[in-house]
């Protein structure tokens, strides 16, 4: 998907919501396990059907599927296929945080972009530098979403370290350095919503890039703050919400509850996009 | 496996060799594809049988299995099971470079340590800090192998940045900071052999920890240099070689060639351990 196509989708849906499919088998409604052979897949399908009107992207978190071994990966594949078949316009992000030396990253890139399974983007960790990231950039229409400033407490351990030479913080250095590897047509950045006040500094370096923003909802970030500092002329934001939407209810009405929650976020996003004259 | 058990294994085998199972399906001998339904598994089994006498550890690189989707993961599981069944003393490392926010890292940790599949260690990326690493430390007898200084060119992008406040380079900061998360009984560090001259600085911070050293062989690192600066009183080194051993020949004699190559490395390691009076 190109950047223009993504922006078009955002305008059509009046939403920049990404629904995180962090489907913890232990947290899904208990009745599903009694009724279905693959309760996680059933849950995902119902959540996708319930939320597709209100979001532009889905982000399965690979850990939650790897956790169940090969069966979990089967469920993941079936989930992605379900989205592709029923909602072909949606953007699909493999939240995998991969990254290794060049020949190994090339293998990961092929795993996410080279098979029939058709992700649009994969999250990549920057610690190992250029040759760990660039192999993911060789697939036309596919995206690297590079970790810059993450939403968790541990972000303060290394991401804010200031470079003695340039005065830049590591997350800023990641942004600046990676501008030499890709561009706003094939790279996005992860910026945690819990650090929205940093978005001004981040936009100074990457004004035109899309940012994937986790941390709204369960992690405590504010959508208004994120939009205030993060919006650009192509929207430039994909705001992810996982637990707040997919586990809005764990009773029989879980899908309806997820739909209501997604609709609520979409309505807020529609106002934001309208105020910004983007729709 | 405890640190003492690992050191004992090293003394028994007179080796600190780790064989990297970076099994690229496109590089294995062509005749295997004609003869076997699962040529990669067949290749791995033969390589394991051929090298087990000369190494103490195996390190499957997950990218090479994920690259083939669910079937690849099946092959990986079967490979690990083969090692566990036939060579139960060997240390098994999942080279996965994982790391995410706390609840997600907990899922990854369970994927590697909580199922019947029995890895001893997993490689973890440090960018996201403490809560991305500590969930892996909650399994008794299991190890985190944290990326510190990697063997690739991209290592220079961020790992050598100097902290304006403390003067430490990022890889040193990762070492120091992580001393608060674990200890030399549950953490090791990745230090690339291509940066052996850095081992003196690294040993000043982590004198007692084991280091996993990739980059000897195909990537150009020197075993002598690594041993000179990296050995400690418990050996403290696992030196990985992948391509140089497993693809020593791509003809019918591939297993014998791998055995010869592993034996050569073991002989060099035996001399090193003898000289250091560790055996």
pLDDT per position as a tens digit, A10-36: 999 999 999 999 999 999 999 999 999
Q: pTM for the complete prediction?
A: 0.97
Q: Does A16 touch chain B (CB under 8 A)?
A: no
Give residues with Cβ within 8 angstroms of B232, minimum separation 6.
B203, B207, B208
Confidence of residue B233 (pLDDT cuts 50, 70, 90): very high
Q: How many residues does chain A have?
A: 279
Structure tokens at B196: 């052996």
Strand-pairing partners, residue B146, are B124, B189
Q: A182: how many CB neighbours lie within 10 A of its CB? A: 18
For residue A97, indicate whether it is catalytic. yes
Mean pLDDT of B153-173: 97
Q: Which of the four pLDDT bands, split at 50, 70 and 90, describes residue B143?
A: very high
What is the mean pLDDT of the segment spanning B170-178?
98
CA distance A143 to chain B (A): 18
What are the backbone angles phi and psi of residue A262, rounded to the nearest 5°? -65, -40
Rounded CA-CA distance A224/A203 in Å is 16
Indicate the DSSP class of residue B114: I
Angstroms from A263 CA to nearest CA on chain B = 26
Interchain contact, B161 vs A163, CB within 8 Å:
yes
Compute the half-sphere exposure of residue A151: CA atoms within 13 Å on the CB side of its CA.
28
For residue B14, what are the contacts with CB-CB under 8 A and spacing of at least 6? B266, B269, B270, B273, B279
- With a CB cutoff of 8 Å and minimum separation 6, the contacts of A73 are A65, A66, B69, B70, B73
Closest residue of chain A to B108, computed from CA coordinates: A63
Helix A254-275 × helix A39-51 angle, to 10°: 40
What mean pLDDT is predicted for residues B154-167?
A: 97
Residue with tokens 């369970």: B110
In the predicted structure, residue A172 carries a pLDDT above the cut 70: yes
pLDDT band at B193 (very low <50, low <70, confident <90, very high): confident
Predicted local confidence at residue A70, as pLDDT: 93
CA distance B188 to B236: 9
- Say whether residue A64 is in contact with chain B using an 8 A CB cutoff: yes
Q: Which residue has the tokens 């430490």?
A: B168
Residue B106 pLDDT class (50, 70, 90 cuts): very high
Smallest Cβ–Cβ distance between A152 and the set B102, B117, B163 belongs to B102
Mean pLDDT for chain A? 96
Pairwise CB contact (< 8 Å): A147 & B161: no
Residues A173-182, mean pLDDT to the nearest whole number: 98
Under CATH, which number does the domain B3-275 receive? 3.20.20.70
- For residue A56, the model assigns a pLDDT of 98
The percent of residues above 90 in pLDDT, for chain B, comes to 93
Helix axis angle, A254-275 relative to A223-230, nearest 10°?
Answer: 30
Q: Which of residues 220-249 of B touch A (CB under 8 A)?
A: none
């Amino acid at each position: 998907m190109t950047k223009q196509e993504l922006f078009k989708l955002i305008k059509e849906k009046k939403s920049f919501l990404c629904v995180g499919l962090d489907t913890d088998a232990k947290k899904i409604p208990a009745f599903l396990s009694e009724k279905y052979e693959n309760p996680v897949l059933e849950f995902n399908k119902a959540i996708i059907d319930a939320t597709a009107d209100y979001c532009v992207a889905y982000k399965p978190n690979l850990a939650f599927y790897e956790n169940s071994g090969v069966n979990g990966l089967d469920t993941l594949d079936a989930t992605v296929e379900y989205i592709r078949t029923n909602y072909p316009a949606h953007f699909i992000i493999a939240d995998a945080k991969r990254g290794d030396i060049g020949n190994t990253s090339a293998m990961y890139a092929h795993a996410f972009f080279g098979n029939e399974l058709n992700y649009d983007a994969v999250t990549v960790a920057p610690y190992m530098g250029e040759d760990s990231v660039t192999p993911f950039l060789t697939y036309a229409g596919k995206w690297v979403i590079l970790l810059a400033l993450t939403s968790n407490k541990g972000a303060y351990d290394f991401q804010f370290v200031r470079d003695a030479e340039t005065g830049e913080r590591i997350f800023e250095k990641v942004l600046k350095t990676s501008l030499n590897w890709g561009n706003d047509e094939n790279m996005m950045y992860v910026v945690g919503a819990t650090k929205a006040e940093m978005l001004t500094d981040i936009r100074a370096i990457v004004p035109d890039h899309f940012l994937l923003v986790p941390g709204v909802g369960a992690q405590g970030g504010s959508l208004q703050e994120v939009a205030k500092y993060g919006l650009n002329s192509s929207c430039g934001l994909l705001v992810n919400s996982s637990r707040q939407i997919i586990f809005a209810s764990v009773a029989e009405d879980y899908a309806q509850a997820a739909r209501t929650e997604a609709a609520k976020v979409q309505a807020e996003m529609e106002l934001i996009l309208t105020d910004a004259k983007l729709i």
